[in-house]
Amino acid sequence: MDKPPLLFYSQALFYPLFGPVEWAARLPALLASLLLIPLAGMLARRLGGGRVAAVVAAAVVAVAPLAVQFSATAFSDPLLTFWLTAALVVVLARPGRARPGLVGLCLGLALATKYQAALFLPLVVGLAWLRGWGRREWARGLAGLAVVVALLLLWGAARADGAGLVARQWANIGGLRPAWSWELWPRLVEGARLWRLALGWPLLALGGVTAAAVALSRRARARLGAADALLALFVVAYLLLHWLWAVPAWDRYLLPVLPIVAALLGRGVEAVVGLKREEPTDFTDCTDYKTKKSVESVKSVVTSLLTRWSLCSSSWRCCTYPWPPPPAPGAIPSAASRRPTAARRWSPWP
């Protein structure tokens, strides 16, 4: 065995319920694939998108042939993708709602599913830096990650097999080395074929048109943020790594970046269409949004009070108990009635 234990322990949970049948081993991947659909929509929302971006991202994950194909398998890649996407969703939480410990826990569970999760560590760190984490947040995130890593190391030390899982996994795929020059073109062609099978021609056409429109429209690019750019750069770097290094060209290696591609596609479609967001959800502008709404609320309350006072001062009958009472004919005005006009104007009584 060359994989971490989380997938196998997850499968073992269903054997007492349904028996040692084949489809019981497929249930963890099925549940993770189903939960991945709303997670992709949440990822698009956390990036600053609206309902259109969330619906597009969730629909892409729901109908993509690659996700549908692996949802009924016993591979560890669907569970890995679920934990990685959950870590991205949590790290992009709004200010004041960040849970760094949960981010580290999700990343650790992804690492306990498959060691390829370590490739996503720079992405999570970059998003946390954009989020503005302080020392306390970094400490909590590392603590959540350290808990799972410590359990994983204890599990590895208790195994009778002395060979490391990472070394065994590299040996099973033929080792790690840069691709030779004569391998680059065949690997590029194979990668393009895998993406065509993973998304299908309709989604590929939608992605190509959206990418071209965003590249040509300055207004569409202005609607995207730094987190979108970081995710796009990570996807490009991930694909270049799997092209330039002589790792097997397998379709399941594309599954971890599929929710990211779906969220970026949803954001791009919404930016091109130019639909106005109902409420900003990106951490870069939600503080300004809340401040603006608070100022507008205070302004509306003050305006309503001033309007009521001005109406009361214009008519004695709008108040049930006017004060001071109107002076009798020929009487000497009281001291209260001789107040300045400005003082009477700001009084709740006329």
Question: What string of pLDDT tens digits covers the 350 residues of the chain?
Answer: 668 889 999 999 998 888 888 888 999 999 999 999 999 999 999 999 899 999 999 999 999 999 999 998 999 999 999 999 999 999 998 877 889 999 999 999 999 999 899 999 999 999 999 998 989 999 999 999 999 999 988 888 887 665 566 666 666 666 678 889 999 999 999 999 999 999 999 999 999 999 999 999 888 888 899 999 999 999 999 999 999 998 888 899 999 999 999 999 999 999 998 754 444 444 444 444 444 454 455 456 545 545 544 444 444 444 444 445 555 555 555 554 554 444 444 444 44
Beta strand segments in 172-270, E: none
Q: Which amino acid is at 70?
A: F
Q: What is the 3-state secondary structure (H, E, C) of 261-273?
A: HHHHHHHHHHHHH
Query: Residues for the chain: how many in total?
Result: 350
Q: Structure tokens of 106?
A: 């999700």
The rounded distance, in Å, linking the Cα atoms of 97 and 16 is: 38
Residue among 313, 216, 222, 228 at smallest CA distance from 267: 228
3-state secondary structure of 299: helix
Q: Structure tokens of 148?
A: 């799972």
Q: Structure tokens of 322?
A: 């006017």
The rounded distance, in Å, linking the Cα atoms of 122 and 91 is: 13
Contacts of 212 (CB under 8 A, 6+ apart): none
Please report the pLDDT score of residue 247 as a whole number.
Answer: 86
Q: Structure tokens of 126?
A: 């970059």
Q: What is the 3-state secondary structure (H, E, C) of 20-52?
A: CCHHHHHHHHHHHHHHHHHHHHHHHHHCCCCHH
The distance from CA 248 to its chain's CA centroid, rounded to whole angstroms, is 30
DSSP letter, residue 117: G
The rounded distance, in Å, linking the Cα atoms of 49 and 264 is: 10
The distance from CA 162 to its chain's CA centroid, rounded to whole angstroms, is 39
Q: What is the pTM of this model?
A: 0.76
Residue with tokens 């760190």: 125
Please report the pLDDT score of residue 318 as a whole number.
Answer: 42
Residue among 106, 153, 108, 111 at smallest CA distance from 3: 111
